[in-house]
Amino acid sequence: MRIGRNVFIVTQTGPEVMPITDDVQLPTYEELDVQEINISHPVMKASAMHFGKYCDKVSKEFMLCRIEERDPRKCIPEGKAVTSCGLDFYRQVKQNCRNELEKLSKCMEWTDYDLKFWYCRKEQGLYDQCMSEKMGIDRPPFGYFTQVRVHDTARPQPSPTAPEFKDRTIGLPEDFPVEESKYGWRHWWFF
């Protein structure tokens, strides 16, 4: 999109802000075009644990790319791989465990506005059993996705983009005059 020579569009891309000018090449719509996963929120939440375990390596590769590159344009192929993995997962679920997933998602949708599992433990057990028997995917244990797990990648590590400044300021000298705060200590609510 062309805005003008001196106009900046600021987009959030992680911990830093990226200004966009005429010099920045944005991907075309053809590069970004991919088939979407067209399912509802209750179905996605009901199958999230198995989906996360099925696409674990591909998702980690995408997130590693996003963190290391700090530029989402460089991670488009990895993002497409995650979407492709999701499409493959839901196609297999549709062939093998569609009825069980539909029962679980409808139960979650109609019993609680927040889509909680605890009202639908019977349906969840049937779905977990079907996924284990027909697709070979067991429900991961509690805390599985919060554990630290090492991810090996074949993608080369990018070079650091931020320049190293050798003459950076170390700090203020010890004899620097410090004035007393005008309105007192600002952390008064701690006491």
Among the listed residues 42, 23, 9, 30, the one whose alpha carbon sits nearest the alpha carbon of residue 115:
42
Is 24 a residue whose pLDDT tops 70?
yes
Facing residues of 20 across strands? 9
The pLDDT, as a whole number, for residue 95 is 96
Supply the pLDDT for residue 180: 81
- The string of pLDDT tens digits covering residues 54-63 is 999 999 999 9
Here the tokens at position 93 are 């679920």
Angle made by CA atoms 147, 148, 151, in degrees to the nearest 5: 125
Let me know if residue 29 belongs to a domain: no
Closest CA to 73 of 26, 14, 11: 26
In a domain, 157, yes or no: no
Asked, for residue 31, whether it belongs to a domain, the answer is: no
pLDDT per residue as tens digits for the range 133-152: 999 999 999 999 898 888 88
53, amino acid identity: K
How far apart, in whole angstroms, are the C-alpha atoms of residue 103 and residue 46? Answer: 10
* Window from 24-28, 86-90, 92-96 with minimum mean pLDDT: 24-28
Which residue is it, tokens 């997962």?
89
Q: 127 in a domain, yes or no?
A: yes
Place of tokens 């069980």: 100
DSSP state of 69: H
Total number of domains in the chain: 1
* 188 is a domain residue: no
**Does residue 28 belong to any structural domain of this protein?**
no
Structural domain for 76, as ranges: 40-144
Residues 6+ apart with CB under 8 A from 122: none
Please indicate, yes or no, if residue 17 is contained in any of the structural domains: no
Domain for residue 88, yes or no? Answer: yes
Helix intervals (H) in 21-148: 29-32, 41-46, 48-54, 56-69, 76-96, 98-111, 121-130
User: Which residue would you say has higher pLDDT here, 36 or 180?
Assistant: 36
More reliable by pLDDT, 92 or 182: 92
108 touches 120 (CB < 8 A): yes
pTM: 0.71
175: number of Cβ within 10 Å: 5
